Amino acid sequence: MQRHKLTLSLLIFSLLPLSLLARQYFLILSQEDLKDIPSSPTTTSSDVDPNESPPEWDEFGDSDSKPEHELDPGSWRPIFEPDATTSSTSASKLDPEMEQYYSAVEKMFSAVSDSEVKVVEEAVAEIEELATVKGNSHAQSVLGFLYGLGQIKERDKAKAFLYHHFAADGGSLQSKSALAYTYYRQQMYENAVKLYAELAEVAVNSFLISKDSPVIEPVRIHNGAEENKEALRKSRGEDDDVFQILEYQAQKGNAGAMFKIGYFHYFGLRGLRRDHAKALAWFSKAVEKGEPRSMELLGEIYARGAGVERNYTKALEWLTLAAQQQLYSAYNGMGYLYVKGYGVQKKNYSKAKEYFERAADHEDAGGHYNLGVMHLKGIGVKRDVRLACQYFIVAANAGQPKAFYQLAKMFHMGVGLKKNLLMATALYKLVAERGPWNSLSRWALESYLKGDVGKAFLLYSRMAELGYEIAQSNAAWILDKYAEGSMCMGESGFCTDSERHQRAHFLWWQASEQGNEHAALLIGDAYYYGY
C-alpha cells in the first residue's frame, strides 16, 4: 500500500500549488532537517469516549466555522458584498462609528469611480478624523494604506507603519498582514513569523472542513506587456460564452455539466460569487443521474449546513454513496465524521484511520494530511512526528494548504523539523495569503472587467501592501497602461507623470523581489536606460 512507501525521498517538493510567485519555487529538506524524536505510545483506544480526546487536538477543525466577514473585521466586504454580510452591516448600524467608517470608505471608492478628486479628499478627511480623533482601528488601517501608497496623502513610510501598528493593536488583521510583509522584506523574521502565524491560523479557520476548495490564485490581468485576455475571459462568470454553453448542456441533462456548474457556484470559480443555493440545486440534479462527485459535495454541504440545515447523518449517507462509486476522496470526508463523532454513534479513531488510509492509498491529499495529524498527535496510533512530517510533505506536494500550515508550525516551533524561522515565515505567508482578505482580488478583478480601472487600481494597491505579488504587478501594470485613467492621486490632484512612474517602479520592485521575472526585467531596463 502506498502509505508504506513514504521515504525521505519525498522531502523534496514544490511550493508552486500555493505560491503566488511568478516562477517555480522549491523547498528542499534533507535528513539533517529532521529531528530524531522517539515515537510515543498510543494515547487513545480505537473506540473512545469523546470526553477522553485531548483538549489540544483541534487540528481537524470544526464544521461551525465563522463567516469571512467575521474572520476579517473591518474589511470592505459590506461595501462590495452587502448581501453576504447582512449581519455585519446590521451590527454596524448599531455602532455609529463603524457606520461612519463604512460610509467614508464607500464614498472614497465611489468618488474614485467618478473621478471626483474633491470628493475623494473629503472622504479621506473623514477617515482621518475617525482614525486620529476617535482612534478607530479600521480607519487607522486605511490611513496607513493611504500614507504608504501616497494617495491624497504624502507618501510617508514612517506614518504608514505607525498607523498600521496602532490598527493591528486594535484588531485589524489586514494591518497585521501589512506589518508582517514589511518585517518579511526587512528579513526581521522573528517579528514576521509571529504575525504570519496568527494570520495563517485565521486562514485555516476559513477553509472547508473536509473537502478543501481548489487553490484560487489572484488573476494576473497582464501577460508581460499585453493584457491577459484569455485569463480575463475565464473570469467573466455567467457572461463567458464557454460558461453559457456549459450551462446549456447542464439544462439539457448532461450530468457532468451539472456538476461543473454546481462546482463553480460552490467554490466561487470562473468569476462567479459563491452561491450555496445554486450549487445545491445543481448537485441535487446531478446525483439523480448518478454523478458521484456531486454526491461527495452534497455530503460536504450537509456536514457544513451550507445553504441547508446541517445534517451529519445525510452527510455520511452521501459520502458513503460517493465512495461506493469508487470516488476515493469521499473516504476522507467519512473519516472526518468518525474522527469528530458526527453522524455516528461515537468517535472511532480506528475507523477514521481506515478511511483516511483508503483515501491516501488513492493519492488523496486530504487523506495524507489527516493521517499526518493522527500521527502528530498520537491519536489512535503511536505518536510519530517523523512519519507525520512525511505525510504532511506528500499532502503539501499535492497543494493541501493545511499541510503547509503544519509544516510551518514544525519549522516555527522546532517540532519534528529543526527550527527555521525563514522557512516558517515563508510557509505561513503562503497559507495566510489564502485568508478572507484574499477577496480583495475578486473585487479588484470585477471592477477591472467592468472598466472601473481606478477602483481596481486602489483595490490591487491595498492587496499589494499585504504582500501579494500578483496584486503588486497588476497595480503597476495599470499605472503604466492607463496613465491618468488609473486614478493615481498625489497630495494635489492627479499624479504627475513622474509621480506615477515612481509609484509603478516601487510596485514593480516589490514584485521582482518575489520572483516576477517581467518586473525584474523592467527594473533592469530602468537602471540601464537611466529612467
Q: Residue 60: what pLDDT?
A: 59
Question: What mean pLDDT is predicted for residues 512-523?
Answer: 93
Is the CB of residue 389 less than 8 Å from the CB of residue 369? no
Q: Residue 214: what pLDDT?
A: 62
Give the three-state DSSP class for 383: strand
**pLDDT tens digit string along 384-432?**
999 999 999 999 988 888 999 999 999 999 988 899 999 999 999 999 9
C-beta pairs of 298-305 under 8 Å, 24+ apart in sequence:
299/330, 299/333, 300/208, 300/209, 300/210, 300/211, 300/333, 301/266, 301/276, 303/63, 303/209, 303/210, 303/333, 303/336, 303/337, 303/342, 303/343, 304/63, 304/65, 304/208, 304/209, 305/63
Q: Residue 10: what pLDDT?
A: 37
Residue 309 lies in a domain: yes
pLDDT band at 100 (very low <50, low <70, confident <90, very high): very high
Residue 181 lies in a domain: no
pLDDT exceeds cutoff 50 at 479: yes
334 CB-side CA count, 13 A: 26
Residue 381 lies in a domain: no
What pTM was computed for the model? Answer: 0.88
Q: Residue 162: what pLDDT?
A: 97
End position of a domain, from candidates 362, 379, 412: 362
Question: What mean pLDDT is predicted for residues 319-325?
Answer: 95
Q: Residue 28: what pLDDT?
A: 55
Question: What mean pLDDT is predicted for residues 133-138?
Answer: 96
End position of a domain, from candidates 362, 385, 417: 362
**pLDDT tens digit string along 37-50?**
554 554 444 444 43
pLDDT exceeds cutoff 90 at 433: yes
pLDDT exceeds cutoff 80 at 510: yes
Question: What mean pLDDT is predicted for residues 115-142?
Answer: 96
Residue 312 lies in a domain: yes
The pLDDT > 70 percentage for the chain reads 83
Greater pLDDT, 26 or 499: 499
Residue 512 lies in a domain: yes
Residue 519 lies in a domain: yes
CATH number at residue 312: 1.25.40.10
Domain count, the chain: 2
Is the CB of residue 199 less than 8 Å from the CB of residue 435? yes
End position of a domain, from candidates 339, 362, 385: 362
Question: What mean pLDDT is predicted for residues 338-354?
Answer: 93
Greater pLDDT, 501 or 206: 501
Alpha helix segments (H runs only) across 207-272: 229-233, 241-251, 255-267
Question: Could you tell me the residue range of the domain that residue 261 belongs to?
Answer: 224-362
